[in-house]
Structure 1
Amino acid sequence: MAPPHRTPPGEIPIRSASGTTRRSLLAGVAALGALGAAGCSRVATASGVKGGDLLDRLRAQGVVRLGIAGEIPFGYIDKDGELTGEAPELAKVVFKRLGVDKVQPVPTEFGSLIPGLASQQFDVVAAGMYITPERCEQVIFADPDYQMLDSFIVRKGNPLGLRDYKDVVAKKAKFATGTGYAEIQYAVEAGYKEDDILIVPDQVAGLNAVEAGRVDVFAGTAVTVREVVKKSGKTEALKPFKPTVDGKPHVDGGAFAFRPTETKLRDAFNTELRKLKQSGELLRILRPFGFTEAEMTKLTAKELCGG
């Protein structure tokens, strides 16, 4: 396995913990590959129309292609071979309101989402991608549809009394997180030696490592940690908390990403997203995937891009 801090091909380096990739590929990889082989032909090239004409073209063809990364609960193919996850389900609602009735998944690795968008392999990234200043130099984001804190998986009773990354360092806990997760840099910023971090494929592997006693704690996003411990009688999820980035408490936000030329589509998407937030329907759409009121947000893409 390559070192976790290495940048995936085509994606710019992430400077800090302000939002690296968070999760790695989980279930449904075989199904994703099959779908990808069937539906990964390139979309039409972008036009020179101011604001882009992709929305008009999507309405005409009746289908939008979504770049996903096979990550539960953000965007994946379920056991029945159906596209689901918080981002695809939100996409189904928003694009239907925009006059596009069908969504089609185009699976790829998380690190290939931005390059795939740029090379027109799909129309929009629908993978719960964190908004970071570095990514904002390559794509334009809708406003975030969720915000996210971190959480820990520990053994029942939290024997080491861990609450945050500083506690992990102070108590010399054996620490694990996932491949490419933002939590790697959060731990390093708190003073944990990167070479001592156990890198596992995903939160299920992290849960197993804690249950087996190979590590004291696994760090992940609050929603993934909260969901995965439901399957365990030996562990618990700790109270979500804000990691520290550049000395300040930090909250991440995930959103849909668009090519920089397609501001018309991004703006139309934002208009419908705001309506869903105001009506409370957004939470109804996201709740089946483990999201709660705590993950609803008023953050904007501009704030998270650093502008």
Structure 2
Amino acid sequence: MAPPTRHRIHRIHRRSFLAGAAALGAAGALGAAGCARVPSGDALARLKTQGTVLLGIAGEVPYGYIDEQGVFTGEAPELAEVVFKRLGIGRVQPVATDFSSLIPGLNSQQFDVVSAGMYINKERCAQVVFSDPEYQMLDSFIVRKGNPKQLHTYEDVVRAKANATGTGYAEFGYAVAAGFPEKDIVILQDQVAGLNAVESGRVDVFAGTALTVREVVKKSARAEATRPFAAVVDGKKKIDGGGFAFRPTDTELRDAFNTEIHKMKKSGELFRILRPFGFTKAEMTELTAEELCR
């Protein structure tokens, strides 16, 4: 796999990443103060004046994370750099927080936009407005090598002794819909914690997106990823899509972002940006946010 094109990302090192939670309050204060000096009511004009977009991420490979050199990278920061530069904004500043804090942080103006492998669904669409998805995604499980309990679907997982997923993951709802007791689902920080839990025998299975699961097990001698599959909810297969989230008042900014995404889909540039992070052509999509919000 070719290395990600990190040269476009503003270099932010590990100390800044670890201070991400503290930075949220400061970011909100700066945003509130900045509104007095820059155009109000037009997010794109404001961001052009500021020259910087605050991008909320969750520190998850391959969506937005910090690499071994202490540099922010991932499909979200890379894509955001390209799109916002074309919209006249020269710098993207990633800010890391817990996945569950992303939408609250966006709506309290701690970020300007959020992208963190976040599925577009009806519940989230009631809180934010999404760009059209840049990818579609199936689910997969981390299981012990050889998949001794033959866990391939959420219905199979109902008979597992311990089922885990990540904080705020859509997979939680899919397991509950299949009949797994909500109170018995183990919530872990991310897919790395999920891998560790499966390898140690703490849980039988960790549910996540096919992309994150297949990436995290690559170097494991004790765990593997199951074949990607679509969750079934109310008798219908679910194919999810992930996109950038904006505040409900920022529809013009979202629309300008969408225009660039559509151009990049048509030219093939979007896939060229996402491919170094493990995305395949099967994960490119023509789904819309409107469809997924339903």
TM-score range, shorter chain: 0.7 to 0.9
Percent of aligned positions that are identical: 68
Equivalent residues in 2 for 1:1-307 (5 A)?
Answer: 31-34=16-19, 37=22, 40=27, 41-43=29-31, 44-45=34-35, 52-169=41-158, 171-306=159-294
Amino acid at match of 1:231: K
Q: Which has the higher contact order (CA 8 A, sep 6+)?
A: 1
What's the offset of the Cα at 1:29?
A: 7.8
What's the offset of the Cα at 1:225?
A: 0.5
Contact in 1 for aligned 2:99/2:168 (Cα 8 Å)? no
Amino acid at match of 1:263: T
Distance 2:53 2:186 in 1: 39
Amino acid at match of 1:154: V
TM value normalised by structure 2: 0.85
Distance 1:288 1:161 in 2: 31
Contact in 2 for aligned 1:75/1:83 (Cα 8 Å)? yes
State the secondary structure of the residue aligned to 1:106: strand
Deviates most, 75-84 or 145-154: 75-84
2:5 is matched with none
Deviates most, 113-122 or 235-244: 113-122
Distance 1:48 1:215 in 2: 51
Deviates most, 148-157 or 188-197: 188-197
Residues 209 and 110 of structure 1, relative CA distance in 2, 3 Å threshold? closer
Amino acid at match of 1:81: G
Residues 229 and 166 of structure 1, relative CA distance in 2, 3 Å threshold? same
1:10 is matched with none
Residues 215 and 37 of structure 1, relative CA distance in 2, 3 Å threshold? closer
Contact in 2 for aligned 1:45/1:120 (Cα 8 Å)? no
TM value normalised by structure 1: 0.81
Distance 2:255 2:20 in 1: 29
Q: Write out per-residue CA displacement over residues 57-102 of structure 1, whole angstroms, 9 at most, x where no aligned residue.
A: 2223322121222222222233333221111111001011111111
What's the offset of the Cα at 1:215?
A: 2.9
Number of residue pairs the alignment of both structures matches: 276
Moved over 6 A (4+): 46-49
Gaps of 5+ in 1: 1-27
Distance 2:43 2:215 in 1: 36
Residues 151 and 97 of structure 1, relative CA distance in 2, 3 Å threshold? same
What's the offset of the Cα at 1:281?
A: 1.4
Contact in 1 for aligned 2:100/2:167 (Cα 8 Å)? no
Residues 187 and 78 of structure 1, relative CA distance in 2, 3 Å threshold? same
Contact in 1 for aligned 2:119/2:170 (Cα 8 Å)? no
Residues 115 and 168 of structure 1, relative CA distance in 2, 3 Å threshold? closer
Deviates most, 225-234 or 257-266: 257-266
What's the offset of the Cα at 1:232?
A: 0.5
Q: Which has the higher helix share?
A: 2
